[in-house]
Amino acid sequence: MSTRLPTGGRFIDRSKPLNFRFNGRKFKGFEGDTVASALMANDQKVVGRSFKYHRPRGIVASGPEEPNALFTIGKDGEREPNQVGTITELAEGLEVKSQNHWPTLETDIGSMANLGSNLIPAGFYYKTFMAPRQAWKHLFEPAIRQSAGLGQPPNQNDVDHYEHFYLHTDILVVGGGMAGLLATRLLAETGLRILLLEQSPNFGGRLVQDHAEFGEGASQDWVDSTLLELFSSKNVTMRSRTSVSGIYDHGFVIADERFPNTSGKSGYLKRRLWKIRTKRIVLATGAIERPLCFAGNDLPGVRLASGVRDYLINYGVSPGDRTAIITNNDDAYRTAIALAEVGLSVPLILDTRMEIRGTLPTRAKNLGLRIEPARGIGEVLGKKTVSGLEMCSQVGEGTSLEKIGCESIAVSGGWSPTVHLWSHCNGKLKWDETKVMFVPDWKHPPIDSHGKQNIFPVGSANGYLQLHEIPSQVEQIVRQVAREFDKDLPEIQLPHTREITEDRCHGTWLIPYSMKPKKKMKAWVDYQNDVKVSDIDLAVLEGFESIEHSKRYTTLGMATDQGKTSNVNGIALVSHNLGIPMDKVGTTTFRPPYSPIPLGAIAGSAGKELFKPTRKTPIDAWHVSQNAHWEPVSDWRRPYCYLLEGESVENAVNRETLRVRTTVGMLDATTLGKILVKGKDAAKFLDLIYTNAISTLKPSRCRYGLMCDENGFLMDDGVVARLDETTFLCHTTTGGADHIHGWLEDWLQCEWWDWRVYTANITDQYVQIGVAGPDARNVLDKLGGMDLGEEALPFMSWKKGILGGHEVQVYRISFSGELSFEISVRASEGLELWEKIHEAGQEFSIEPYGTEALHVLRAEKGFIMIGDETDGTIIPQDLGLDWAISKKKDDFLGKRGQQRSYLTDPDRWKLVGLEVLDNDEPLPHGVYAQCETKNEFDHPKMEGRVTSTYYSPILKRPIAMGLVERGTERMGEVIKFNCGNKMIKAKIVSHIAYNTD
């Protein structure tokens, strides 16, 4: 029975009880509890099922290294899977659910795999399920999916929100334990900007629970007074609950700040992702305790000794009345002493070492605790939870010497510095044989862009576990950091800490040393991935000797905890198996994130309506009022059509198309790109940019032009208007505006940098209104102010004037074949002019039309559309646009490209019209025409494809354009399009379907 003690628990507030539910059952906890501590206080031993074997699993640790206690927190739109219970703070009404069990946590069918855990050894998936082939899809995969995996992904929209925060700082201190606090305090005096981040809600690290006495006075007092000092330092920013998850090149750091839901309301700020730029990093991330490998070490009730101590001191939780200790170092004795001091029973301390002399064991002995040197655990007793253990000789094979009854076993296999962040940017590690740990290798540190070390580990992260070593070590390193900024540390009285002699940890990797193979199948190395000692043996035996290989073969150190507790033990077992030193085995590569970050935090505020900016024209609200059916066109939204009440999209498009053909329609063409090109060399420049001649264009005239890339492929098209001798306005496609502006600047800045040309993208400055149809002029004449007659403004010309009281430029250009004007007016007056035109047009039944009607109108006339007729592999010649390619110009971008043999091949597919033989069967978009002959791969040869296909309401039949091999030479021929379930026949005709004159 684990339970809450009557007193104690420095993090909890007993005056503030909280109610929560675990798998639907009501539980109680206190403010300050984590989900894990509250579950332990409620005697919830089994908290989840293991990944492969579905074995019952209990809480092992007290920090982010926890491999087992993963929960789904919250319900509906708040649901978050795979939350680590040891760092999730308890809140009123919290819904906690265990994961990976079926049907229930208590009775899991998957745990039948227990019948022989040798059923799923290392490499199981690679060796099994190879045949029969069909069985994989229908039998194996569904079965594996049912039993494998952790939490279920949420199935509703997230109701909470997230954000990012960018901060530039001089020094980032990671970790607010003793070393981090001391480093920050020393650095604070330099005036440099310091950011101190602590992953847990409380500063102080392990200091208080491990060392209540701190030289003169209590260690809690030292923590409090240090915090108070830092709090008043203007140059220091401190954040708790903020976990640094990754360090990247150039001092870029990602940290994840968690907010407990104190209000209980949904829709609160859940996480803030910090994006930090720092010059130097002080790493005070502490160390993580390792478990030990013995038979039955995964039974709920077996916990890390430090975790047991944390629950006892920080949360006032007893791990059980009787706790046996197994250790290979002195630190675990702290747990024994702490338990004994609150009056709990410690029946036995098993120490794998022969000689035990340290201060802490002596103190334990003085408390009357039984210490057994050179002893280990033969096997843990108990079915679902620990009920006792069998003591054995450490150097033997595991013969039971004595059975001891206990509900809890506290394990310590030594400590591993938390070096993950050091390693993210390629800091190397070295094995310290005396300390029995991987420590940062200062000879191969992570470096900045100047090749200088930029991460500086201090305290236990640097391998210094003894309290008395820390102050001087921190000071020395921090002084070095300060010097890099030309700062010196002031003389500060370092805290005087009490010296406690701790004996060496012993590298014990197997308990007992000659563990029998059957026991190895019950001795876990990695709890989260169900990797046992036997799996590592097998992997090595099968030749997976490199640690990177054996990791992947066994899945050691994978998944959410990334082997925080298991990596070093796994490496040691490989080393033990191969008989080579730890250094030679090496380590796997630590990569970000250190702890998982929710996808919501990565997205930040870019979710829901802010997922992507939507560009809107000044007429947008009017479109909304007219029931626009939207279409995204690059970043803009444009009306696809306007729906009358009860009208279908199809009917609306037909109505709008016919309106333009019969009377008049109006179009919001604001989104089309407008790029100003000005300068003495502007004409020369545009002659190279466009395929046709622009320099010959007269002021007040317009010309349709094509732009190709260097390879000759058609990239963009539009109308160029010459405003004056040296100024041109180049219209681009909506999606091409930014790209073409960049393209022009690229050539001007990198190639023709001495040419006298300036450009500007002035798209947003103007609203552009298209008025098209037989009555277009009549409508504009009603507005008055400008002569727009055939003589005053002939086709392909433009003029300035006052129209309806607005200063405008009117372009006489057409994309529909109808009489058409495009009126450009400053954006702030756009809506007003739009409404005036709409009103003036009522007499002619004017209607707004959307992008789809625009497409139908242009397709009826055989006009091409960038992105429909082109796809980056099409040259203007393919589209019959040879007339827009100057033969006279010496050069233009793409000219040379178009001369390559592949592009001059007479067999190239050419643009033609396609007329279906049966009007009830329109051609689908993008379908391919198939020949009777086969190609070199023995597939049917393709001879063309559909690029545009619409229903033409004026012709009352489907129309289509397509690219067909030698198409223009094959007028009248019938070809067949493969439309999946049927072939549709179409005749090759002129690409101009309507009004071919």
Partner 1 sequence: MAKATVGSTPKLNLLDDVGMILFRGDLKSKTLQDAIVEVTGVKVPVRGKISTEDQTSIAWMSPDELLLFVPLERVGELIEDLNHKMGEEDTLIWDISDLRSVFEIEGNFIREVLAKNTPIDLNKDKMRKGTFRRTRFGQIAVAFWFESETKWFMICRRSEAEYAQQLFEVSSKPGEIPSVF
**E strands along 725-819, which residues?**
727-732, 758-761, 766-772, 798-803, 806-811
Query: Which of 515, 834, 818, 541 minimizes the C-alpha distance to 669?
Result: 834
Beta pairing partners, 463 = none
Number of Cβ within 10 Å of residue 45's Cβ equals 21
**Measured from the CB atom, is 388 or 600 closer to partner 1?**
600
Residue that is written with structure tokens 């009022």 in the block:
625
How many CA atoms are closer than 13 Å to the CA of 992, on its beta-carbon side? 9
Stretch that binds partner 1, among 27-35, 214-222, 467-475, 751-759 (CB under 8 A): 751-759
Q: Phi and psi for 146 in degrees, rounded to 5?
A: -65, -40
Number of Cβ within 10 Å of residue 549's Cβ equals 15
| 92 in contact with partner 1 (CB under 8 A) | no
Over the window 881 to 920, marking each residue x when it contacts partner 1 by CB under 8 A and - when it does not, the resulting string is ----------------------------------------
| 636 in contact with partner 1 (CB under 8 A) | yes
| Amino acid (one-letter) located at 165 | F
Over the window 950 to 979, marking each residue x when it contacts partner 1 by CB under 8 A and - when it does not, the resulting string is ------------------------------
| 987 in contact with partner 1 (CB under 8 A) | no
Residue 890 CB partners (closer than 8 Å, separation 6+): none
Over the window 198 to 237, marking each residue x when it contacts partner 1 by CB under 8 A and - when it does not, the resulting string is x----x-----------------------x---x-----x
Instruction: Check if the beta carbon of residue 464 is closer than 8 Å to that of residue 470.
Output: yes
Min CB(165)–partner 1 separation in Å: 5
| 792 in contact with partner 1 (CB under 8 A) | no
Stretch that binds partner 1, among 34-42, 95-103, 506-514, 756-764 (CB under 8 A): 756-764
**Measured from the CB atom, is 161 or 957 closer to partner 1?**
161
Number of Cβ within 10 Å of residue 147's Cβ equals 20
Query: Which of 321, 319, 328 minimizes the C-alpha distance to 293?
Result: 328
CA torsion sign, 219 to 224 to 227 to 228? negative
| 762 in contact with partner 1 (CB under 8 A) | yes
- Tokens (6 digits) for 70: 């993963």
Q: How many residues bind partner 1 (CB under 8 A)?
A: 47
Task: Please state the length of the chain.
Answer: 997
Distances from the Cα of 564 to the Cα of 201, 203, 335, angstroms: 20, 21, 21
- Name which position in 506, 756, 889, 957 contacts partner 1 (CB under 8 A): 756
Min CB(454)–partner 1 separation in Å: 17
**Measured from the CB atom, is 265 or 698 closer to partner 1?**
265
Q: Rounded to whole angstroms, how far apart are CA atoms 403 and 381? A: 9
- Compute the chain's Rg from CA coordinates: 38
| 679 in contact with partner 1 (CB under 8 A) | yes
| 764 in contact with partner 1 (CB under 8 A) | yes
Restricted to residues 360-399, the positions that interact with partner 1 (CB under 8 A) are none
Min CB(873)–partner 1 separation in Å: 30
**Measured from the CB atom, is 191 or 343 closer to partner 1?**
191
Restricted to residues 609-628, the positions that interact with partner 1 (CB under 8 A) are 609-610, 612-618
Query: Which of 855, 848, 292 minimizes the C-alpha distance to 568?
Result: 292
Stretch that binds partner 1, among 46-54, 477-485, 821-829, 929-937 (CB under 8 A): 821-829
Beta pairing partners, 721 = 702, 729
Min CB(364)–partner 1 separation in Å: 35
**Measured from the CB atom, is 549 or 678 closer to partner 1?**
678
| 124 in contact with partner 1 (CB under 8 A) | no
Q: Rounded to whole angstroms, how far apart are CA atoms 124 and 116? A: 13
Distances from the Cα of 427 to the Cα of 315, 433, 474, angstroms: 36, 19, 19
**Measured from the CB atom, is 612 or 888 closer to partner 1?**
612
Min CB(223)–partner 1 separation in Å: 12
How many CA atoms are closer than 13 Å to the CA of 322, on its beta-carbon side? 13
Min CB(211)–partner 1 separation in Å: 21
Min CB(766)–partner 1 separation in Å: 7
Q: Rounded to whole angstroms, how far apart are CA atoms 630 and 624? A: 9
Min CB(724)–partner 1 separation in Å: 12
| 600 in contact with partner 1 (CB under 8 A) | no
**Measured from the CB atom, is 639 or 817 closer to partner 1?**
639
- The helix/strand/coil state of 226 is helix
Restricted to residues 159-198, the positions that interact with partner 1 (CB under 8 A) are 161, 163-168, 193, 198
Min CB(826)–partner 1 separation in Å: 5
**Measured from the CB atom, is 458 or 603 closer to partner 1?**
603
- Tokens (6 digits) for 109: 């069918």
DSSP codes joined into one string, 545-567 = -SHHHHHHHHTTT-TTTTTTTTH
CA 596 to chain CA mean position, Å:
11
Residue that is written with structure tokens 């491990």 in the block:
210
Restricted to residues 239-278, the positions that interact with partner 1 (CB under 8 A) are 239-240, 269, 272, 275, 277
- Name which position in 156, 426, 480, 605 contacts partner 1 (CB under 8 A): 605
Query: Which of 684, 705, 706 minimizes the C-alpha distance to 695?
Result: 684
Distances from the Cα of 317 to the Cα of 2, 220, 385, 544, 650, angstroms: 7, 20, 18, 43, 69
**Measured from the CB atom, is 328 or 759 closer to partner 1?**
759
- Name which position in 765, 842, 899, 919 contacts partner 1 (CB under 8 A): 765
Contacting positions for partner 1 (CB under 8 A): 161, 163-168, 193, 198, 203, 227, 231, 237-240, 269, 272, 275, 277, 605-606, 609-610, 612-618, 636, 676, 678-680, 756, 758-760, 762, 764-766, 826-828
